[in-house]
Amino acid sequence: SESGAKKPRRIALVTLFPEMFDAVTQFGVSSRAVKQGLVEVRCWNPREFTSDRHQTVDARPYGGGPGMVMLVQPLRDAVQAAKAWAGECEVIYLSPQGRRFDQAAAQSFAAAPRNLVLVAGRYEGVDERFIDLEVDSEWSIGDYVLSGGELGAMVMIDAIARLIPGVLGHRQSAEQDSFTDGLLDCPHFTRPEVYTDGAQELPVPAVLASGDHERIRRWRLQQALGRTALRRPDLLQGKTLTEEQQRLLTDFRRDLEA
């Protein structure tokens, strides 16, 4: 287009609770992406694709057992409507059986040109035939029991929207890049330089007030590495550390022993 602006990424949601998505369209970085026209978010409610008086979207499970299962037809018709809007898209069902969503997945979704149709389940889940007919991939945000897939869809929207070019300011995204290469974050401090509650005085680490940017960069990297090694050693598996990172981590561990 004349402004050189990229076409907005379209994210469609199929959900019984569209109002929940105000959380990502009205607040935070993802809402800025929407306001800037870089991302468009739209909801389709399966209940609007029912044809019975009671707008039935669920029914009892074959084989017995507790709870209800979402019917194929309203879900499928809602997905078809969402796909008509989303165009070239990937249909994703958020579910505990899905592949674990992580930063690498967020980066690949943000980089891919395809739009997304995110389907959130409720009740005990959806009729498996809907998944076979309409779903390209299943994704999970973690191993715990939730009441619906909507929070999973919002996690994906937030994580992906931040990575879409133009959404974050250059400084923030540069900051983000330095650490999302698989490390935990370093500690953060702000004023006052010495916090006191009357009983104790808690200063900010001197290095951060030193103004020595190279020393600060090294300290923050060492903290990120050390905290990752202590709290999430799994993130360091299979990660090749640079010479500098290895030295910083060794020093961190030695200081810990001291």
Ligand X SMILES: Cc1cccc(C(=O)NCC2(NC(=O)c3cccc4nocc34)CCCC2)c1
Nearer to ligand X (CB atom), residue 68 or residue 207: 68
Q: Mark the binding-site residues for S-adenosyl-L-methionine, compressed into ranges.
A: 121, 141-146
Which one of 46, 74, 149, 226 is in contact with ligand X (CB under 6 A)?
Answer: 149
Measured between alpha carbons, how far is 92 from 173 in angstroms, rounded to an integer?
26
What's the token pair of residue 52?
Answer: 């019975």
What's the token pair of residue 233?
Answer: 């050693």
Active site residue 162: yes
Please tell me which residue in 177, 193, 212, 244 is annotated as part of the active site: 177
Please tell me which residue in 96, 114, 138, 227 is annotated as part of the active site: 96
Active site residue 124: yes
Active site residue 96: yes
Nearer to ligand X (CB atom), residue 145 or residue 206: 145
Active site residue 177: yes
Least distance in angstroms from the C-beta of 154 to ligand X: 10
Running DSSP on this structure, what letter comes out for residue 94? E
- Letters for 63-102 (x = contact with ligand X by CB under 6 A, - = none) are -------------------------------xxx------
Least distance in angstroms from the C-beta of 155 to ligand X: 8
Nearer to ligand X (CB atom), residue 62 or residue 144: 144
Which residue numbers are catalytic? Answer: 96, 124, 162, 177
* Residues found near ligand X in the complex (CB under 6 A): 94-96, 121-122, 125, 140-149, 152
